[in-house]
A and B are shown apart, each in its own frame.
Chain A
């Protein structure tokens, strides 16, 4: 088990390295003269040269990469072109907000998705199933920014139950996390349902029924655990969805997190910031997938025993 964990963890390192190269190359992908582009159309020649200096674009590419990686290891991600403050500072200001938002969204969407999936799957082709699956297909089809705006319109503007924007207190998390989690809950519900239906056909479920177990026990002990092994694997992918979705949701709710920071930075062509945010998003995605992988192993006795 320990060896498996170690092996999986080490396997992630090359991916992280390639991702870092990719993100490093990011600014260099800009067509034409990156410094010119970053500086914007109204910049003077001096400004452009300053930016070239700040971004380190006047050195050779390997040298630039070395500087970049050394900086990263020291926790230095460069300076924001917009605020002139360190990127790490700006990110640090907002990091926890996004973490709170994604964690709350992931939690409710996994719980709701799994429950809907189980009830739909075990009541296949009955009204519970039709209701659950109608909800689910709507959930994957609804544009989150529309859902968010509609929620604001009804619950914040008209009913005044929740604040329209911001990140003050738990209440401000409710509407954004509903918006962000809806599609993930829907995807998990669909996946759980089909997994439950598959498992219900297994021979060992017939064995469990032949023992005269209560149906609830059959579903929650015998079916559920097996189907969760499959469901856990998609939760990792959904986390990527959540990170991407957080950009849109945070922008709708003017929520001060990393997603809205990314949008601001793109609009301001704050490339050091964009670069660092993309790196942070993908590192989280890779690490979460690793955690999910290990969790999967933990659920599967065959791997546990090795």
Chain B
């Protein structure tokens, strides 16, 4: 018995009953609204998305234009974040680079999530041989530290942003598969799934109408949290020279170029890194907020 349960269980039931009268969505909105940092994070992410769409219209300079008269300038009124070794405006490059980081993060995790969810559903629902095969493979993938696996994949496929997406998608797949599998196993035994089965519902209908929606909140929370770490991994790979190639304004690559100037021109590494940090931070804070709003176990 938890201390919380000292309050009358029946009172709790009454309160829950009243809460249940609201739709799950409005209940979620109500809880999410209380998460101030998560709201701030979503506003920031929204800004990033807008910037990635209209970035080229708002940037003060052409991100790829060389300006040999103004190389390696520190931050100033003209160049907020300074200029790089070719005199390109770092502020403009970072804004244009938003598109790349978001694209890589979202696409790789989406591929991983879709593939992982499909495998998890099959594994959990049908069990047996398929289940053992899928889980064995994911065990093996888990035996490789994530970044090492990604580097291995790139070593085979060759460097490039497309291969980074594939690498990140491959190593995020097994986690989604595990999460969805365990929820599927749970829901498979639930009364409503058994009832639907007895009524003769097809497997596909049960999977997509009953089990998938039940697993959705877990998937969404994990999805959001993984975007942050995928952006980190992808930019690390670009930093190591395995992802985006010059002259792309990819943030990790910009940092990698900037490290040669670390002593005197700190702005070349500072601002692209800050951009990665804030972006990843926002996705992580959003993920935390979603988890707190969606997971009934964690709220009080």
Contact = CB atoms under 8 A, between A and B. Distances in A.
A contacting B, Cβ–Cβ less than 8 Å: yes
Interface of A: 15, 18-19, 22, 26, 29-31, 137-138, 140-146, 149-150, 152-153, 157, 201, 203, 206, 240-241, 243-245, 247-248, 251-252, 262-263, 266-267, 269, 271, 274, 278, 281-282, 285-286
Contacts of B272: 146
Contact of A285 (B143, B154, B285): B143
Contact of A203 (B1, B136, B269): B1
Contact of A19 (B143, B262, B269): B143
Contact of A137 (B140, B156, B284): B284
A143 B3 contact: no
B156 A18 contact: no
Contact of A282 (B136, B144, B269): B144
B147 A248 contact: yes
A18 B2 contact: no
Contact of A150 (B144, B146, B152, B269): B269
A140 B273 contact: no
Interface string B125-164: 0000000000010011001111110011011110000000
A262 B240 CA distance: 11
Interface in B262-276: 262-263, 266, 269-270, 272-274, 276
A141 B157 CA distance: 28
B75 interface: no
Given A145-B256, A149-B262, 4 more contacts: A18-B140, A19-B140, A138-B277, A143-B235
Contacts of A282: 143-145, 148
Contacts of A271: 155
Contact of A243 (B140, B148, B157, B263): B148
Contact of A244 (B146, B269, B284): B146
Contacts of B136: 18
27 contacts: A15-B139, A15-B143, A18-B139, A18-B140, A18-B143, A137-B284, A140-B228, A141-B280, A142-B280, A143-B239, A143-B277, A143-B280, A145-B239, A145-B252, A145-B273, A149-B269, A153-B262, A206-B3, A240-B146, A244-B148, A247-B148, A248-B236, A252-B259, A266-B151, A266-B154, A281-B144, A282-B145
A101 to B, nearest CB: 14
A26 B156 CA distance: 8
B242 interface: yes
Contacts of A243: 145, 148
Contacts, number: 132
Contacts of A269: 155
Contacts of B259: 149, 252
B281 A143 contact: no
B58 to A, nearest CB: 25
Contacts of B155: 266, 269, 271, 274
A143 B148 contact: no
A17 to B, nearest CB: 10
B240 A263 contact: yes
A194 B205 CA distance: 37
B232 interface: yes
Most central of B258, B259, B276 by chain A CB within 10 Å = B259
Contacts of B154: 266
A30 B156 contact: yes
Contacts of B146: 240-241, 244
Contact of A262 (B4, B151, B236): B151
Contacts of B3: 201, 206
B27 interface: no
The 10 closest A-B pairs by CB, nearest first: A146-B273, A244-B147, A240-B145, A141-B281, A244-B145, A141-B280, A243-B145, A143-B276, A282-B144, A281-B148
A243 B284 CA distance: 22
A157 B263 CA distance: 6
Contacts of A266: 151, 154-155, 242
B241 interface: yes
Contacts of B235: 143
B255 interface: yes
Given A149-B255, A271-B155, A143 B232 contact: yes
B288 interface: yes
A30 B152 CA distance: 11
B143 A286 contact: yes
Contacts of B143: 15, 18-19, 282, 285-286
A81 B296 CA distance: 56
Contacts of B152: 26, 274, 278
A247 B266 CA distance: 23
A141 B140 contact: no
B269 A143 contact: no
A305 to B, nearest CB: 27
Interface in B110-136: 136
B263 A137 contact: no
A5 B270 CA distance: 49
Contacts of A149: 255, 258-259, 262, 269, 273
Contacts of A146: 255, 269, 272-274, 276-277
A281 B281 contact: no
B226 to A, nearest CB: 12
A153 B62 CA distance: 29
Given A19-B143, A145-B255, A247 B151 contact: yes
